[in-house]
Amino acid sequence: MKDLSIGKEGPLIFKFAMPMVLGNVFLQMYNVIDSIIVGNYIGKEALAAVGASFPILFTLTSLIIGIATGSTIIISQFFGAKDMKKVLRAIDTLYIFLFFASIVVSVFGIIFAEEIFKLIKLPEEVLPDAITYLQIYLSGLVLFFGFYGTSAILRGLGDSKTPLYFMIVSTIANIIFDLVFVIWFKWEIAGVAIATLISQGGAFVAAICYLNRTHEVINLSWRKLIFDKPIFKQSSRIGFPIGLQQVFVALSMVVMYWLVNPFGTDTVAAYSVVFRIDAFAVMPAMMFAAALSTFVGQNLGANKPERVRKGLISTFYMTSAIALTVAAIALIFSRSLMSMFTLDEYVIAIGVEYLHIVSFFYISFSGMLTIGAVMRGAGDTLIPMFITIFALWVVRIPVCYYLAESMGSNGVWWGIPIAWIVGMILSYLYYLTGRWKSKPILRKG
């Protein structure tokens, strides 16, 4: 565990964020390797199916993940205040919530998978693979939520290294299972989904066994879990706006596929590939933002609000430097990056056009996330939710739709960074108001 309320702000956040960044590099690696194996050994239809499944999965899980995020903000503030009894109650409550929520989401998604894909007008040749992948993945959702919840709890306690170790093991296992199931067993798209399910489930079980033996706070006993209603209400108050925000983010991704699908399988496949590349590009900013939220939560819990501004400035400089570096790589090596996933020249050309447009603006996305992280760490999640919804639904989707009429798929690509810029400006303006400073949970009783 790490107390982030003591020490130099910038180095603290960097050291706390880097294991999270590395962990998510491995997470994105096995997503990327999934796509590479699918694109090269199964085909572009299967590649499009995996890509189209992601926003559906994100939509189905984002509300639950948001409420879980609210729990980790509470955990970080209780930990900053050294109230270990409430920390343990919050952990128990989160695990109980995640278990029952995963059952509900799994059943719903499995039953309505085909109807969901037809609703977004997924090309007919892609539909069977997409349904198979989504249904198998959802059958093991309880394992995904378990591993996600455990990692989030550890980060709330200031431990970002342990989740990294288990993510590395999970990634290596996923790569091995991918190769065995797809290339050797010839299970095609089903093999990819099963490999992901086994690797995530194994990581969750291994993490719980390890933590029960070694961790000074987490000692999970399923029979002794206690559901604390007041803590859950606090978690929901903070987490529901985050979750609702993520739902709208996820739904906007679904709508993006709805806009892209009419351009055909090649464009859907290209978008599925650049989506993976984008995830690598924006992931460091997301992890630094998550680290900053924990930093803000602990410092406000410890009644040290003066450290928040310094933490924000340091994080912004770090994420900006990373964004500029990744943008340069995406611009220079765009064709090589696309060629890793597919040898189809038309798919590659579409992806290169996307990267040449969007990668210039990764720094805007980083700025938007970093500023928003301060408000989330303080427990002020409602206004950031409205800002995100505005940027995505009032700006991005209409702009993408309008520009697509005259510019084709390139018009869709231009709408993405325009929304990022608007979101960054609005987030900064709200930060300047200072209203978020009055939101910490501990001051509300």
What is the spatial distance between Cα 112 and Cα 116, in angstroms, rounded to a whole number?
6
What is the spatial distance between Cα 284 and Cα 24, in angstroms, rounded to a whole number?
8
For the cut 80, the answer to whether the pLDDT of residue 26 exceeds it is no
The parent domain of residue 398 ranges over 9-443
Q: Is 23 exposed, middle or buried (0-12, 13-18, 19+ CB in 10 A)?
A: buried
Q: What is the pLDDT of residues 313-360, one digit of tens each?
A: 999 999 999 999 989 999 999 999 999 888 889 999 999 999 999 999
Spatial neighbors of 328 by CB under 8 A, at least 6 apart, are none
Q: Which of 284, 281, 321, 316 is nearest to 417 (CA)?
A: 281
* pTM above threshold 0.75: no
Residue at 4 is within a domain: no
CB crowding 48-74: b at 16 or more within 10 Å, else e: bbbbbbbbbbbbbbbbbbbbbbbbbbb
Cα 315–Cα 200–Cα 157 angle in degrees, nearest 5: 40
Q: Which two tokens stand for residue 389?
A: 């919804």
Residue at 92 is within a domain: yes
Phi, then psi, of 6 in degrees rounded to 5: -130, 130
Do 64 and 205 form a contact (C-beta atoms < 8 A)?
Answer: no
Q: What is the pLDDT of residues 384-405, one digit of tens each?
A: 888 988 998 999 999 999 999 9
What is the spatial distance between Cα 43 and Cα 143, in angstroms, rounded to a whole number?
28
Residue at 312 is within a domain: yes
DSSP 6: S
Residue 440 has a pLDDT of 56
What is the spatial distance between Cα 131 and Cα 71, in angstroms, rounded to a whole number?
32
Residue at 3 is within a domain: no
| DSSP-H helix ranges across 120-187 | 127-139, 141-156, 161-178
Residue at 416 is within a domain: yes
Tell me which amino acid residue 15 is.
Answer: K
Q: What is the pLDDT of residues 187-198, one digit of tens each?
A: 999 999 999 899
Residue at 327 is within a domain: yes
Q: What is the pLDDT of residues 243-293, one digit of tens each?
A: 887 788 888 888 888 899 889 889 988 998 898 788 778 888 888 998 898
- Three-state DSSP at 294 gives helix
Residue at 1 is within a domain: no
Tell me the Ramachandran region of residue 82: left when phi exceeds 0, alpha when psi lies from -120 to 50, beta otherwise.
Answer: left
Spatial neighbors of 422 by CB under 8 A, at least 6 apart, are 390, 391, 395
**Number of domains into which the chain is organized:** 1
Spatial neighbors of 315 by CB under 8 A, at least 6 apart, are 10, 13, 17, 288, 289, 291, 292, 370, 373
Residue at 438 is within a domain: yes
